[in-house]
Amino acid sequence: MRNYVDGEWRAPSGDDGRDVVDSASGEAVTHVGFSTDDDVDDAVAAGQAAFEEWRETPVEERIQPLFELKSLLEHHQDDLAETLVREHGKTFDEAKGELRRGIENVEVACGIPSMMQGGHLPNAAPDIDETAVRKPLGVFAAVTPFNFPGMIPLWFMPYAVATGNAFLLKPSEKTPVTAQRIVELAAEAGFPDGVVQLVNGSVDTVNAILGHDGIEGVSFVGSTPVAKHVYETAAANGKRVQAQGGAKNHVVVAESADLEFAAEQTVGSAFANTGQRCLANPVAVVDDAVYDEFVDRLVDIVADMTVGEGMADGVEMGPLVSDDHRETVEGYVEMGIDEGATLLYDGRDADVPEEGSFLGPTVFGDVDPDATVACDEIFGPVLALVRADDFDDAVSIVNRSEFGNAASLFTDRGADARRFRHEVEAGNLAVNAGTAAPMAFFHFGGWKDSFFGDLHAQGEDMIHFYTDAAVYIERWPDA
């Protein structure tokens, strides 16, 4: 794996590194070296130099490479998706879906000439005209997680560069391959040297970014403890920062819900991407009146799932990202049993390939809403079913979570849906849909311990994050 700095592909110069492993086979795909402070310095210096010209480049010219990038990403969608399957383990369909959501952000950022306009008001005061503008700031960095290696860099990069900034990506060291491929395509699309750059690395590289005077702002997506560290350190160093953290989302199944539909959607939401998704709903809070029927339907669907290698036909769920992570998730399965939950479907006994980091879908019933398996982010294919006395009880269980990324409700009653929208403390809500994933022209980000900052990823918020506002007041008295 290489860094991309000032238009050149260079080896990271640190001594440390790690293998990137295909978790379906256990075989190394490649090796990634980690970058030093000097590597980060070089990238920041090149970004600052590029910024001086790029900010003056007319916006219509700045978005032309984005149109080209969209077309290149679409042209290479299948091979990029296969790369995603190899480095992450997800299924080919999931990989294509991920890329589609990433490409949407490139499409939205092509509208920057309209989106970053300010405002003008003649005669704001006697003989005074007033104009508000938005200006780019310099070099911005993004630090991204392992679970959506193609999409998450694209939550940030298109907006950063279209608004006139230089952008530096530090992808997850567990899954850096697709990001490198996307940066190669960005270079091919015609961004000037230094405008889009990549440094590989781990904790030390991130800390070099957080402490660097030449970086104006940092976007982070990852686990909550690291999000807090990034938020506090970047802010203490005077940077703009948006830090998206972990999640433990809920589905509420109300008494009036279409139970078959709710069960299908809950399974999709809990087990897509092998449960390694910040928008997964790994806790289903089910009204006691329909609990037993819902459980029967859900377990039937889970028992039919096909687990296997992501490129194989008919596979619905791939392996976890690594053996280490599978051990962690299996530890939580043990903990659920120790905590007294009923193991309705044991993924450890499921029909899965022998090689690789596979774990089948696991379902716990009658889980205490305050049990560890119902509260901790497990980030694997483990679904906890919780009984609720009624709708009020369900909402109160959802709002007890320390996280607030997303929640879904299945109901046939508008009044429940309305209350859910008003009362549930989460940033992304869905009614009669399993996954509350906003399109790229809406912002995306959670509440509570799922997000630290104020401006979220995607859409309009990105324009505000990547620009500063200025106001011009003008008076031109008659000669």
Residues forming contacts to ligand NAD in the complex (CB under 6 A) are 143-148, 170, 172-173, 202-203, 206-207, 221-223, 226, 229, 244-247, 278, 377, 379, 405, 446, 450
**Given the DSSP bridges, would you call strands 451-452 and 240-244 parallel, antiparallel or unpaired?**
antiparallel
393: left (phi over 0), alpha (psi -120 to 50) or beta: alpha
Taking the complex as a whole, the smallest distance from the CB of residue 185 to ligand NAD amounts, in Å, to 21
Amino acid at 344: L
Torsion of CA 65, 70, 72, 74, to 10 degrees: 180
CB 158 within 8 A of CB 189: no
Q: Rank residues 203 and 236 by Cβ distance to ligand NAD and give the closer one.
A: 203
Residue nearest to ligand NAD (CB): 222
Nearby residues of 188 by Cβ (< 8 Å), 6 or more positions away: 68, 72
Based on the number of CB atoms within 10 Å of its own CB, is 60 exposed (0-12), middle (13-18) or buried (19 or more)? exposed
Taking the complex as a whole, the smallest distance from the CB of residue 420 to ligand NAD amounts, in Å, to 20
Taking the complex as a whole, the smallest distance from the CB of residue 459 to ligand NAD amounts, in Å, to 14
Amino acid at 218: V
**Given the DSSP bridges, would you call strands 119-125 and 27-33 parallel, antiparallel or unpaired?**
unpaired
* Helical residues (DSSP H) of 111-211, grouped into ranges: 112-115, 151-162, 177-189, 203-210
Taking the complex as a whole, the smallest distance from the CB of residue 433 to ligand NAD amounts, in Å, to 18
Q: Rank residues 185 and 206 by Cβ distance to ligand NAD and give the closer one.
A: 206
User: What angle, rounded to 10 degrees, do the helices at 151-162 and 92-109 form?
Assistant: 10
Taking the complex as a whole, the smallest distance from the CB of residue 210 to ligand NAD amounts, in Å, to 8
- The verdict on whether 375 is a catalytic residue reads no
Looking at residue 122, the DSSP 8-state letter turns out to be: E
CB 122 within 8 A of CB 129: yes
Taking the complex as a whole, the smallest distance from the CB of residue 393 to ligand NAD amounts, in Å, to 26
CB 152 within 8 A of CB 40: no
d(CA 471, CA 441): 26
Q: Rank residues 143 and 187 by Cβ distance to ligand NAD and give the closer one.
A: 143
Sign for the CA dihedral angle at 399, 224, 92, 438 comes to positive
CB 181 within 8 A of CB 153: no
Q: Rank residues 149 and 356 by Cβ distance to ligand NAD and give the closer one.
A: 149
First and final C-alpha spacing in the chain: 65
Active-site residue identified among 227, 230, 278, 407: 278
d(CA 150, CA 322): 18
Taking the complex as a whole, the smallest distance from the CB of residue 36 to ligand NAD amounts, in Å, to 15
Q: Rank residues 206 and 383 by Cβ distance to ligand NAD and give the closer one.
A: 206
Question: Which of 175, 199, 10 has the alpha carbon at shortest distance from 207?
Answer: 199
Taking the complex as a whole, the smallest distance from the CB of residue 206 to ligand NAD amounts, in Å, to 3
Phi/psi at 261 (5° precision)? -65, -45
Q: Rank residues 128 and 203 by Cβ distance to ligand NAD and give the closer one.
A: 203
Nearby residues of 83 by Cβ (< 8 Å), 6 or more positions away: 177, 178, 181
Taking the complex as a whole, the smallest distance from the CB of residue 448 to ligand NAD amounts, in Å, to 11
Q: Rank residues 297 and 326 by Cβ distance to ligand NAD and give the closer one.
A: 326
Q: Rank residues 23 and 411 by Cβ distance to ligand NAD and give the closer one.
A: 23
d(CA 52, CA 446): 34
Q: Rank residues 143 and 315 by Cβ distance to ligand NAD and give the closer one.
A: 143
d(CA 423, CA 394): 11
The counts of H helices and E strands in the chain are 17, 22
Give the residue numbers marked as catalytic. Answer: 278
